[in-house]
Amino acid sequence: MDLLNTLVEKGLRRELPTREEALAVLATSDDELLDVVAAAGKVRRQWFGRRVKLNYLVNLKSGLCPEDCSYCSQRLGSKAEILKYTWLKPDEASQAAAAGVAGGAKRVCLVASGRGPTDRDVERVGKTIEAIKEQNEGVEVCACLGLLSDGQAERLREAGADAYNHNLNTSEATYEGITKTHTYADRVDTVQKAHAAGLSACSGLIAGMGETDEDLVDVVYALRELDSDSVPVNFLIPFEGTPLAKEWNLTPQRCLRILAMVRFVCPDVEVRIAGGREVHLRSMQPLALNIANSIFLGDYLTSEGQAGQADLDMIADAGFEVEGAGTTTLPKHRADALAAAGATGGCGSKASAGCGSEASAEGGGCGAHAEEGGGCGPCGGHAAPAAPASSPARTADEARTDLVAVRRRGAGTDLAPNA
């Protein structure tokens, strides 16, 4: 296809595709799907080889969020029967993080529900970061605490945080239909605060909330303009007890097209398959590794993920390798720009650090929305129970409620985590 050849050439040059080209990827047929995956795979291998970065979520504070994000199991008024607990102590969080690191995770993501942290919360998280880094040499720590006030990003960086996550989630045009207690602009502001403080900006999206192809392209173009180093792609987990519980709009093929579009628009960033991969990609998860170079290991914030060992087996069986702690994830031009930004406390030059040369063309939400499409986050032991062998054949777009399991182990419980 001329379209795919063009997109590969642009991706290898870090050149921004046109909106028409990005939309065309989402409109490709199932007959063209493997060609789309192969083309996106060429761009992925150019910048990341066959490495897969593992990330591990620790839910520091679960549930009882005052925000009204429709996709979230921790939202105000949620009837989802999730775990609810207040702040983990630094040593408890460090023990939870150690399980993920032992399983191969290179980055630990510390997430807390709520509109945004108080200064006392920032101090508490700083002590947690210190405890984790004392126990796990070389581990990266990403914080996700919601809307940041002035000076808080700088304090997190001084405490040892390497990155800050705050997802845009959906397009500016549709944002008000998803959340009313904060704005899209609030989220953009928090990503910019993190970036300006020299933290690696992590910001992504949630697909499957009823958005159009145009909405998906809009949010991904916005993420490129924000110069995110990592882009988590969440697929809505329709939790019972949330307003979007009936939104089952995704197929594995649709998910692969979305991932490919993200890769073409942001060719040299860490594209992470985040929450919902088990629910919506299902048996096609290994194929998605040809596009994305990062996943969460084990359970997510409020839902269970695939067994940790199954994640590792999947990576090996698909011919990929787990990225080691001594390897720099980002391509040299991005890593150098991030280091320069960290040295100055600023975001550096977008022209050299962005997703591409035309890159210049979540505050407000519950911090736990970081990495779980549909719930408040992502990272496991057991996946949800598989359907028995005697079950009737399923249609391609049938709701897989059997794959949505609320997390009952790990952080906030007395049971061992899934890692």
> Could you read off the pLDDT of 272-306 as tens digits, one per residue?
999 999 999 999 999 999 999 999 998 877 777 89
CA dist., res. 135 & res. 94, Å (int): 7
pLDDT tens by residue, 130-155? 999 999 989 999 999 999 999 999 99
How far apart are alpha carbons 86 and 92 in whole angstroms? 12
Q: What is the mean pLDDT of the segment spanning 30-41?
A: 98
Q: What are the tens digits of pLDDT across the range 13-28?
A: 999 999 999 999 999 9
The set of catalytic residues is: 65, 69, 72, 109, 142, 202, 272
pLDDT, greater one: 358 or 332? 332
Mean pLDDT on 344-362: 44
**Average model confidence (pLDDT) for the chain?**
86
Global pTM value: 0.87
**More confidently predicted of 196 and 246:** 196
31-45, 171-185, 388-402: segment of lowest average pLDDT: 388-402
Mean pLDDT of 260-276: 97
| 77: pLDDT strictly greater than 80 | no
Residue 19 per-residue DSSP state: H
The more confident residue out of 242 and 311 is 311
Give residue 348's pLDDT.
Answer: 45
Query: Considering the chain, what percentage of its residues have pLDDT values greater than 70?
Result: 86
pLDDT band at 380 (very low <50, low <70, confident <90, very high): very low
- What integer pLDDT is reported at residue 409 of this predicted model? 73
> Taking residues 373-378, what's their average pLDDT?
37
Which position has the token pair 């777009």?
Answer: 397
Per-residue model confidence (pLDDT) at position 76:
64
Residue 321 DSSP SS3:
strand
Packing angle between helix 252-265 and helix 2-12, nearest 10 degrees? 50
pLDDT at res. 67: 79
Instruction: Give the pLDDT band (50/70/90) at residue 65.
Output: confident
In terms of average pLDDT, the best of 31-45, 244-258, 289-303, 343-357 is: 31-45
Q: What's the pLDDT at 345?
A: 65
Alpha helices in 266-379 (DSSP H): 285-288, 308-317, 332-344, 350-353
The set of residues, in sequence order, having a beta carbon less than 8 Å from that of 162 and lying 6+ positions away, is 107, 140, 141, 142, 199, 200
| Domain ranges for the chain | 41-383
| pLDDT score of 341 | 85
- Residue 346 has a pLDDT of 58
Measure the CA–CA gap between 207 and 237, rounded to whole angstroms.
10
How confident is the model over 377-406, as a mean pLDDT? 54
Helix (H) or strand (E) run with residue 53 in it? strand 51-61
Residue with the larger pLDDT of the pair 238 and 408: 238
Q: What is the mean pLDDT of residues 30-38?
A: 98
In the predicted structure, residue 78 carries a pLDDT above the cut 60: yes
The yes-or-no verdict on residue 370 having pLDDT over 80 is no
Given this model, what pLDDT does residue 396 score? 52
Is domain 41-383 in CATH 3.20.20.70, yes or no? yes
Structure tokens at 42: 């060429």
